[in-house]
Amino acid sequence: MSDSPAPATAPVLEFWCDLQCPDSRAALDDVRALRARYGDRLELRLRHFPLEKHKHAFAAAQAAEEAVEQGQGWPYAEAVLDRAEELGRRGEPLLVEVARELGMDAEEFDTALIDGRHILVVDADQAEGKAIGVTGTPTYVIGGERFDGRNSPGGPRERVEEIADRLLAGRG
């Protein structure tokens, strides 16, 4: 999922995420800082990797795709991540409530969750993640390098910045 059109030459950072995961929630501060630092010089893509242990993560991933359809993918994903613990308690009604709070068509969210129109996108992300070695969230992939955001020495943001800076320097 990517909302903003980055230049075709912008390095891509894939943020493999489970929208109900406390570790993904904790990584949101790093993601926000990276977006602020690089703007459109770095294309940030949210990739779905809902974990089985999180009962509402698969529905949340589908809802995030509906938010993309309605032009608010990142704001929606961030709002759900900010309420990951509450999602665990409340489930799908929270997903629709967040859409309503952000001024989106909440009824369309409800319908999308019922008809499963975004299941294939989420399934494809999950399959690709498994194929490249994603085993948990958050996981970052940039410049062909994959690393676990939970166990990255020196912190994931520093590592992403180092790789992004190297890739951006190589472009110019």
CA distance 60 to 33: 23
pLDDT at res. 6: 53
What digits encode the pLDDT tens for the residues 56-75?
Answer: 999 999 999 999 999 999 99
pLDDT at res. 156: 81
